[in-house]
Chain A
């Protein structure tokens, strides 16, 4: 089944403890992206990747890192999480940006930083 898989689904952590949220897609998509969703603010893009080893900042990249060493994986790294990064996070992928294909989203990761 074609899908985007995020892990974990739920995570509670303490301020400053490094964490990684994984994202993997099995559709050979070139484009991958991370979003965070907050009440009243909607979905905002954190980082995106046009292809392997090509990443760029979205609208809210502060406090996050990403890497794209393989086509299928696009992990989101929080080096020193803070409470304002408590949010619902989504990973998405598309065949490529601008193609005649839409986006497929993962099921989300609910992160709480205390």
Chain B
């Protein structure tokens, strides 16, 4: 069974810091990887989608990288703001099977 792991489970940083969230997965044969943001009790907002053929994607202060061979993705957030406080989830679409697997998320708190 494929697995997706996110470390750390929680992270607290002062405003303005650059930070990195990690996602690892057990099978390098993937279609794509997607990063989401979830505010407490709310739905999932898609942040970035990286295809298996891509190495990175950028949107504003967010940059996501993908290293399929090592089974890793990172989400880089530049100049963090209190409004970035949320849970960040990565999800992987594996070639084997027809499912989309989620990590358990990293809860980020940005302190003003």
Which of A90, A103, A106 has a CB less than 8 Å from the CB of B46?
Answer: A103
Which residues of B19-46 are within 8 A (CB) of A? 31-32, 34, 36, 41-44, 46
Number of interface residues of B (CB under 8 A): 23
Inter-subunit contact B46/A104 (CB<8 Å): yes
By the criterion CB–CB under 8 Å, are B42 and A107 in contact?
Answer: yes
- Which residues B77-112 have CB closer than 8 A to chain A? 89, 91, 93, 95, 98-105
Interface-forming stretch among A14-22, A39-47, A67-75? A39-47
Contacts A43-B89, A108-B43; is A33 near B100 (CB within 8 Å)?
A: yes
**Shortest Cβ gap from A87 to chain B (Å):** 12
A103 to B32, CA, bound (A): 10
Contact (Cβ within 8 A) A50 B34: no
For B91, list chain A residues within 8 Å (CB): 43, 103
4 further A-B pairs in the complex, CB-CB below 8 A; given A97-B31, A108-B41: A43-B89, A48-B98, A97-B93, A102-B34
20 A-B pairs within 8 Å (CB atoms) are namely: A40-B104, A41-B104, A42-B102, A42-B104, A43-B89, A43-B91, A45-B100, A50-B98, A56-B98, A58-B99, A90-B44, A92-B100, A94-B100, A97-B31, A98-B93, A99-B31, A100-B32, A102-B46, A103-B100, A108-B41
Residues of B within 8 A of A (CB): 31-32, 34, 36, 41-44, 46, 49, 51, 89, 91, 93, 95, 98-105
